[in-house]
């Protein structure tokens, strides 16, 4: 093994302000960082898999859903996490991209709002003590889902 460079990382454990269930699509990395800053989330546990929240809302198989729930439980146990941020984004390949919605951004946003509500309900049925905050991200902004398909833009 060869040391490439020296770097001092903090040794003390941290308390996570949130676990973030999110896709690994790098086009939205900057908006993720800006949203977390706006929410005052400094320490977070990222749970990044293709489709992210899709695995809680409409998984291809139950094992995938349970994997995400277990990652959240581990974050809670190791880092005292009490909040989960669920995110879906426009043109997500796990959903077939925007093309799967006939290139209709409004139709896609409506679908993803309901997916976020479904994921929130499922997660709270499994871990009721959590606070869950669902967000939809498109190419022009961030929308917080407030139940029954309603969304409010985060400026």
Per-residue pLDDT of the chain (155 residues; tens, 9 = 90+): 998 999 888 888 889 999 999 999 999 999 999 999 999 999 999 999 999 999 999 999 999 999 999 999 999 999 999 999 999 999 999 999 999 999 999 999 999 999 999 999 999 999 999 999 999 999 999 999 986 544 445 54
CB neighbours of 35 closer than 8 A, spacing ≥ 6?
135, 137, 142, 154
Bridge partner residues of 113 (DSSP):
none
Q: Say which residue the tokens 């985060």 belong to.
A: 154
**Domains contained in the chain, CATH given:** 18-154 (3.40.1050.10)
């Amino acid at each position: 093994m060869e040391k490439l460079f020296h770097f001092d990382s903090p040794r003390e454990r941290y308390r996570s302000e949130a676990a973030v269930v999110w896709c690994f699509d790098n086009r939205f990395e900057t908006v993720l960082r800006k949203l977390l800053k706006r929410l005052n989330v400094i320490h977070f546990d990222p749970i990044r898999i293709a489709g992210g929240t899709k695995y809680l809302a409409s998984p291809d198989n139950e094992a995938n859903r349970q994997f995400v729930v277990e990652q959240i439980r581990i974050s809670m146990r190791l880092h005292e996490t009490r909040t989960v941020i669920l995110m879906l984004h426009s043109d997500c390949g796990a959903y077939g991209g925007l093309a799967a919605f006939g290139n209709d951004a409004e139709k896609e946003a409506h679908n993803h709002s309901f997916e976020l509500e479904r994921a929130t309900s499922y997660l709270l049925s499994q871990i009721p003590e959590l606070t869950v905050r669902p967000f939809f991200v498109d190419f022009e902004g961030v929308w917080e889902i407030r139940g029954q398909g309603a969304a409010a833009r985060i400026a």
